[in-house]
Chain A
């Protein structure tokens, strides 16, 4: 029964909820993005994020991370430093979390862990240096034995030698371990793992109950639906069969099960649109797109995600604020990356195509 958490939530988790709300208030606002879009070079973007020259000197949350970066700057450098801010905040909260919240925070990072596993395995398939691949991994998805992924020759070894001792072990099915390692199978492995992870995360949140279950069910359902949509869009015209495509869809969400049936047989964007528009929550999204137009879809989906994450903060005493903070911060980093790319490529007229304002 929701509402009882008002009595006991702050005993263990009140401090960290306050911390995460403080981090959330440090996210960039519309005036900040207006200043960034006026920049002519990457050094200007850095100066705007550091902002020490104003009186009184004020800095964004990234000030300390970018202040000592020397020219020439690259987009990847800016993104790396901004990501470091998220990682430091997350690790600080994780260190001080109690058991239940710590498990929740760990769940939030398993997606990054899956991405890191795929990065290492793909890079090893391509005979890249392991240390070079480790440098490219997301810090939030690291685990102790990640470097030993390079010795695995197929998925069975991948599971038996390395992943059996990681949190991803339950997500490996018997079917998955019989596959050999090539690009297609690795991508199927990624999506299969992510599907199992989302199902498990949703089950854990439901078990937590209360406002956390209510908020996280909505957020994870949207995530599952968005992944189903992206898998469908990206698999059109590829060798992925309809049955294989359907196996990658999660077992929950607004599209489950009828929407998934229609998406699995869709062959072009208009058929996908027809399937999505049957869900009222997504019909408004697709109404903003012209027929056959799919380039703006990513931005619309991010806007919807940001809207849902920002709405989380209207309620107190739940863990959804932590998940939302991660998503909002990642969107902000994505915005900064987009502005940086547009400035670097002299495409400033297109800069507003990708910025999703958080507030």
Chain B
């Protein structure tokens, strides 16, 4: 705290430190708000899922038995370098799957033999694989759903996970649960970004305090990286405690 006292610097430096401190507090508020939003979205999602189980038929399965055996993520989180070169903490970006060809649209005009059904499934799977490769080349996330290199039968699960639990007629509560969980995913990424921003501000706050002294003190600080890092961790822990 002695590093932060106005007695050690000019009034402008004190104001700068105070502004950084206030900015850090705002960042804490934003982080806590993002965490609250995440908690609410998750709670809403699980409750909507319970409502869907309540409203569904006794034999309806909303569990893992309906998952495809070779699921692929419908959204990925990528690490992005910050635009500010002084910012040491990466940011996270949520990328949703690109829309790929649907199985039902490919299954419309196939022959009606039993072998044709299997071939249709393999053709559709190959189309999805090609679309996935094209999407990956463009930097987009490949479409969700099963991969074409599954067990050999050619899995025909739909790209939209909602259709795994009721075909084209998912109940309203299940759709609401999907919306809630998608919101929760976005809130989680936002919370992670807020935390990274908070770490950057905390480091800037501590750096501002440690460089206010003489060059000798700076050399001493450089020779004691563990102590400085320990101080950073202690302050970060103090700032981040609820």
Contact = CB atoms under 8 A, between A and B. Distances in A.
Contact of A240 (B107, B121, B168): B168
A138 B57 CA distance: 11
A234 B170 contact: yes
Interface stretch (B19-27, B131-139, B152-160, B184-192): B152-160
A338 B170 contact: no
A250 to B, nearest CB: 15
Contact of A182 (B107, B153, B172): B107
Nearest to A86: B58
A151 B14 CA distance: 76
Nearest to B124: A182
A341 interface: yes
A330 interface: yes
Interface residues of A, number: 58
Given A126-B164, A136-B63, A182-B103, A234 B169 contact: yes
B167 A184 contact: yes
A345 B43 contact: yes
Interface stretch (B1-9, B67-75, B212-220, B221-229): B67-75
Given A132-B65, A181-B117, A234-B172, A338 B54 contact: yes
Contacts of A137: 59
B200 interface: no
B46 interface: yes
Contacts of A234: 166, 169-172
B36 interface: no
Contacts of A330: 58
B234 to A, nearest CB: 33
A132 to B, nearest CB: 6
Nearest to A353: B51
A295 interface: yes
B156 A182 contact: yes
| Chain B: number of interface residues, binned into ranges | 35 or more
Contacts, number: 140
A354 B54 contact: yes
A168 interface: no
Question: In this complex, which of B67, B114, B158 has the most chain A Cβ atoms within 10 angstroms of its Cβ?
Answer: B114
B167 A188 contact: yes
B168 A239 contact: yes
Interface in A275-289: none
Contacts of A111: 57, 59
B50 A128 contact: no
A98 interface: no
A98 to B, nearest CB: 27
B211 interface: no
A157 B156 CA distance: 17
B58 A126 contact: no
A59 interface: no
B239 to A, nearest CB: 29
A180 B60 CA distance: 21
A125 B155 contact: yes
B89 interface: no
Interface in A332-354: 333-334, 337-338, 341-342, 345, 347, 350, 354
Q: Which 7 pairs between the two chains have the least Cβ-Cβ distance?
A: A187-B167, A115-B59, A127-B69, A154-B117, A341-B50, A126-B68, A184-B168
8 contacts: A115-B59, A187-B167, A188-B168, A191-B169, A234-B166, A337-B54, A341-B53, A345-B43
Interface of A: 76, 111-112, 114-116, 118-119, 122-123, 125-128, 132-133, 136-138, 141, 153-154, 156-157, 178, 180-188, 190-191, 230-231, 233-235, 238-240, 294-295, 298, 330, 333-334, 337-338, 341-342, 345, 347, 350, 354
Interface of B: 43, 46-47, 50-51, 53-55, 57-61, 63, 65-70, 103-104, 107, 110, 112, 114, 117-118, 120-121, 146, 150-151, 153, 155-158, 163-164, 166-173
Given A153-B153, A180-B121, A185-B167, 14 more contacts: A111-B59, A112-B59, A126-B66, A126-B155, A138-B58, A154-B117, A178-B112, A181-B156, A184-B168, A187-B168, A233-B171, A234-B172, A345-B46, A345-B50
